[in-house]
Amino acid sequence: MKKLWLKIGLSFFILFFVVMVIVGIFSGELMKSTYLNMKENQLEDDAKILLQTTNMENLDLDKDAATIQKSLDPLGEDIDARITVIDSKGDVVADTKKDPQKLDNHMNRPEVTDILKKGESVGISIRESDSLGYSMLYVAVPVKHQSKTDGVLRISISLESVDAAVAKLWGNLALIFGIALVIIAAISVFIARKITRPVREIIEVSTDLANHKYDSRIHGKISGELQDLSISVNTLAESLETQMFEIKQNEQRLNAIVQNLVSGVMLINVDKQVIMTNRTMYQILGETEITGKPFYEVIKSFALSQLIEATFETKTIQQKEIILYFPREMILDASVSPILGENGEITGIILLLHDITQIRHLENVRSEFVTNVSHELKTPVTALKGFAETLLDGAMYDEMLLKKFLTIIKEESDRLHRLIMDILALSRIEQNPVPENVELVEVDDVIEQSARTIFEMATEKNIQVIIPEKTIPSVTIETDRDKLQQILINLLSNAINYTPVDGKVEVKLIEQEAEVIIEVTDNGIGIPAKDIDRVFERFYRVDKARSRHSGGTGLGLSIVKHLVENCGGRIEVESQEEVGSTFRVTLPKKA
C-alpha cells in the first residue's frame, strides 16, 4: 500500500517537476531575451540622445575628432558604457575605453556593417570584443551629415552585467520554483493519499477478513468506481460474519454433543496422530494428554491398536468387543470407521469406544438371577413333588407320616410363597425407584413397630431385641413409611437369622444435622471379609445351610439395598466373624 501512494505521489511530483523545469527554462530564456531587448532599446535610445547632445551630425568626424573624444569621455562614465565613433571608412574616430589610434579598422564588425554597408537604421551584435577580450552587447546608429551617413555611433556594454542580472533573475526563479516544488510535493502526497485512501481501506478490510476479523467494515465515504467495490467488500464481510457465527455455533453444538457423549470419541489423521478426543475417551484411557500424540502412544491395548491399523489398511469399518486392562479392567465395544476423500483415499479415522462393562455385568447378573431363581424354585417344588408322590404311594395311610409330610409340604409351600413374594417385591422396587408416598415419619415409632413385627421370631430363639427410647421431640424424616418399615424388618430378620440362641440384636438411632443414621447390630456369626462386598447380591448367602434352615430366600438384603437407595440413602456393613455384624443405614431428613 505504501508503494502505491508513493508511486502515485512520485508520478505527480515528476510530472509537475518536468513541467516546471520546461516552464522555468522557457521563462528564463524569455526573461533573458526580454532583458537583452530592453538593453538594446536602452542603448539605442542612449545613442540617439548622444547624437543630439554632442551635435555630432553637424561636426566633421575627421576634423573634429578631438572635440568628439573630449565630449564623449564624461558621457561614457555617466551611462557606464563604452562609446565608439567610427567614420564611413571604418576607422575609429573616438573611443571611451581605448586609444582610437591603436584600434584596428571596424568595417568588418557586424553592427558597423549593418549601418555602413546595409544601410540599417540600427546595428546590433553580441560577441567577444577583440580589444577588451570579453563578451559585449553592441548597438550602433548612423551619424548622418546632410542626410548622408557619415559614420557610426556605437554604444556597447559588457554582458557580464547582463549575465549578472539574468543570474539574479534565475536565482529568484529557482527560489520560486523550489518553494513551488515543496508545495507540489505536499500536494502530490495529499492527492496520492486521497486517491489511495479508499484502496488502502479496502485492502485493510480485506486483510482483516483474511485474518478472521469478520467484524471489520469500510466506513469511509467512497465515490466513483471504488464505491461499488467497497459495497461488495462490506457485503462479503457481513456474509462471512454471519456464516462464521453460524459455523461457530454449529461447532460449539457439535463439540458439546461430542464432549458429552457417553462413548469415547477419537479422531486420528492420516499421519496416525490424534487430532481430537472427548472427555469420555480421556477417562477410558486414563490419560491426561492425548491430542497431538500418535495413537499407539496413548492406547495401551494391542488388540485395539491392531483394529485401528486394520482400518488404515483395508479402508473398511472394523468392530470388535475388546477387554481393556489399563487403567482399569473394562469391556469395550470398539468401532473404527475410515474417513475417505473424494478419490477414495483415506484421510483419517474415527474411533468410538463404548463401555459395556456394566451391560455385560447386568447380563451376567440377570443370567445368575435366572439360574438362582430356577434353583430356588426347583428345591421346594422337588420337595413338594417328592412328598406328594410318597403320600400317593401309600404313606397317606400312615397317620404319623401323613402329618409329618404335610407339615413339610406346608413349610416348603410357605418358603416358595416367600420366595415368590420377595421376587415380586424386588421387581416392584426396580420398576418404581422413586418413593410414591413421601410423608413426615417418626423414625423411633417405625423402629418400635418393626420390632413388634419380628417379636415372635426373636422369642423363638430367646434373642433380646433392644430399641432406642423415644425422644421428645421425635426424630422425623421425609420418606415412604412402608419402605422404611420394610428396611427395618428385613434387617432385624436377617440379624435374628444369623444370631444364635440367647443372642442380642440392638437398634441405634443417631440424629445428625441433615441425616439420620439407623444401626442394626447383632452378636451373631459375623460375615467373612471376603463376603462383605457381596452380601447385597441377590441369592447370595454367607451360610447357605443356616439360611435355608431359617427360611431365608437370599433376597432380603438385596431388597434392603434397593429400598435404601430409592429413599436417597446409603447402606454400609461392618462385620467380624464370631463377633457380629452392624448394618448402618443413612437417610436424608429431606426427601
C-alpha cell at 253: 453444538
* Phi and psi torsions of 570, nearest 5°: -145, 155
Helix (H, G, I), strand (E, B) or coil at 474: coil
| CA-derived radius of gyration, the chain | 65
- Domain at 261-355: CATH code: 3.30.450.20
- Is-contact 555 563, C-beta < 8 A? no
Nearest to 353 by CA among 323, 313, 328, 309: 323
| Domain range 360-428, its CATH number among 2.40.128.20, 1.10.1280.10, 3.30.750.200, 1.10.287.130 | 1.10.287.130
C-alpha cell at 299: 492406547
- When pLDDT is cut at 50, 70 and 90, the band that residue 451 belongs to is very high
Of 183 and 570, which is predicted with more confidence?
570
Which residues are paired to 324 by β-bridges?
Answer: 330
Which residues are paired to 346 by β-bridges?
Answer: 340
Q: Is the dihedral of CA 40, 43, 44, 45 positive or negative?
A: positive
Kindly list the distances between the CA atom of residue 326 and the CA atoms of 283, 287, 330, 415, in Å, as whole numbers in the listed order.
11, 10, 8, 46
Q: Do domains 2-165 and 360-428 have the same CATH topology?
A: no
Angle between helices 481-497 and 443-453 (to 10 degrees): 50
**CA–CA separation, 212 and 248 (whole Å):** 12
C-alpha cell at 520: 442394626
Protein fold of 433-588: Heat Shock Protein 90 (3.30.565)
What is the residue-averaged pLDDT of the chain?
82
- Is-contact 372 544, C-beta < 8 A? no
Of 80 and 332, which is predicted with more confidence?
332
pLDDT tens for residues 145-176? 777 888 888 888 887 777 777 778 778 878 88
443: how many CB neighbours lie within 10 A of its CB?
Answer: 23
Q: What are the residue ranges spanned by the domains of the chain? A: 2-165, 261-355, 360-428, 433-588
**CA–CA separation, 50 and 20 (whole Å):** 43
Nearest to 269 by CA among 292, 302, 298: 292
Predicted local confidence at residue 4, as pLDDT: 61
The DSSP string of 165-187 is HHHHHHHHHHHHHHHHHHHHHHH
- When pLDDT is cut at 50, 70 and 90, the band that residue 543 belongs to is low
Angle between helices 65-78 and 2-54 (to 10 degrees): 150
Distance from the first to the final alpha carbon of the chain: 72
Predicted local confidence at residue 352, as pLDDT: 94
Q: What is the pTM of this model?
A: 0.46
Kindly list the distances between the CA atom of residue 339 and the CA atoms of 43, 109, 344, 348, in Å, as whole numbers in the listed order.
104, 106, 9, 5
Q: Which of 170-179, 293-302, 359-368: highest mean pLDDT?
A: 293-302
Q: Which of 210-214, 528-532, 582-586: highest mean pLDDT?
A: 582-586
421: how many CB neighbours lie within 10 A of its CB?
Answer: 12
Superfamily in which the 2-165 domain is placed by CATH:
PAS domain (3.30.450.20)
Question: What dihedral do alpha carbons 306, 308, 309, 314 form, nearest 10°?
Answer: 120
E strand residue ranges, 28-89: 82-87
